[in-house]
Structure 1
Amino acid sequence: MATALTASQLLKALREEGLVVHEVRNWRQHNRNSKGRWGPLHGVMIHHTVTQGTESSVDLCYDGHSDLPGPLCHGVIDKRGEVHLVGNGRANHAGLGDRDVLQAVIDERELPPDNAADTDGNRHFYGFECINLGDGKDPWPEEQKLAIEKVSAAICRAHKWTERSVIGHKEWQPGKVDPRGFTMDGMRDRIKRRLAKAPAGAPGDGGNQGGGDGGRPVPPKPEYPPYEPFPGGGFFRSGERSAVIAAMGERLVAEGCGHYKQHGPGPDWNEAHRKSYAAWQRKLGFSGKDADGVPGKVSWERLRVPNS
């Protein structure tokens, strides 16, 4: 049993676990608290959206629909493994479920079969929707599964819960099949292993080594073709000339963040590069001094600048 995390506490916990997090519209005040109690909190529930596309899925989970008003969860986990926060408080995601399952979550023991729908889950569970069609064919990228693991571990750490506090919708409410495409037992094993280690953003465990982006942690780098390593925030200053800067500019243009005029990005660091990079930082969800246009390690590794 636990008091719900505040919006700031939740955001901090997720980012300290090494996640890229986007704050959607007025998510901090967006909830269904007027329709019922919120808390005490006992666990985290994982769902799939039965949708495609990040923007439309996030909008649906924020707004809901005519039969079920939003928010439909607290966060949406996209195919890239990024988290979009859409609600803070009671959300329409769990519905009625089995009180015996809830008791097992509270006791952190093996779950019984879910054969009843007699207990309000919206009151007691954080909910995260994962973008997937749920047809057994739509793939689950490793980046997305890693984010589910990290989201769950972050909240468990904050409340001093074990992996037994994380369940799937299909384990809560009779007739539900989500999340479909991986097993919750396998996911709980992953969460257990992660909880045995320090979070990705802990001091000395891979955090930012200079530059902007607020010193946020860096997710483990997946296996991609070779990219330019982060050269450090001090590299990007007036008078610096490098093929790396030109390659960075090309990637910014490809991401729709280019603020270059006539000749496009060149090798000399200038104001056009800074404005373009600031647009990229804002696209990732950074703001204020963390979106000042000076590259930091988190945003640089997300940009994936080819070796030059």
Structure 2
Amino acid sequence: MKELNWQHLAYFIKVVECESLTKAAAQLYLSPSTLSKAIAKLERNLRIPLIVKAGREIQITYAGRKLAQRLSQGMTYINDSIREVQEELAQSTDSLSLCSSNLFSTTYFVIPELLKVSKDQYPNTAINYTEVLSQEVVMGIMDGSYDLACLTGEEFDLATPGLKTFRLLKERLGILVPIDHPLAHFDAITFQQIQGETFFRTYDSEHLRKLAMEKYGRSTGDIHYTDISIRHKVMNDASIISLVQSGFGISLTTKSASRTYPQVKYLEVRDMELYRETYLIYKAKAQLSSAAKDFIQLFSQRQGSFFEPITH
């Protein structure tokens, strides 16, 4: 007997079920002639008469009905076996879905650390990670597309109803300048030294405006928060760093995001503390998997400690 075509066996089961080549072909999205040829080929391979044609009608032979019955039993056994293995696998390897925005410091530093620590602690947990636009993250959490997400505090409203959060990381922000910029001669600067500079607008730059207003907004001196020229709206750290390298302006960023780029220099601002905070977020009333609950518990107990290598 030649090697069987399992698809043709499934076709035959459908023909017996419908008692008609035409009806079976329609349900299988095949033409009647294609289905007829497949059944004829199956008969030749099996050397068993399966159907008898009488004009447009067909009759299933005794051997054909008996074979179809056995095949149906076999298909049921195969489907049950697949389902049992899938259920067993689900019990031994729990899973969760995690997403984040495409902010460079999050995707390049935070997410890899999260995945590494989680894998070390729970090696059998499967984590499905997706990178999306920041405005899609909270939406995806609330509609159940994702179990958990990572976002910086400037990318969402912490007071969003129905959302639970805890801080994973708090990183100091500094000023990034080209290596040949006059300020690059310093390791730390003051707010006054960046007056008149052109900034790239980022989520963090609004921080700068608020803090400058609090510190200098009512000052009678020559330092004013309105002297900060913020333009060139850019939201991704990697793009910001590339543009700073090219001399188009300066920007706020984290030290970790800039350390692999030799053509830029990170400067601390001595008289103004600026931070970027990264949060783990999830839906308050979601029916979370055990893997998601373990993930939350793991990192809520270890906030910041596993990120030490990237925050120095």
TM-score by length of 1: 0.21
TM-score by length of 2: 0.20
Looking at CA atoms only, which structure, 1 or 2, has the larger radius of gyration? 2
Structure with the larger RCO, 1 or 2 (CA within 8 Å, 6+ apart): 2
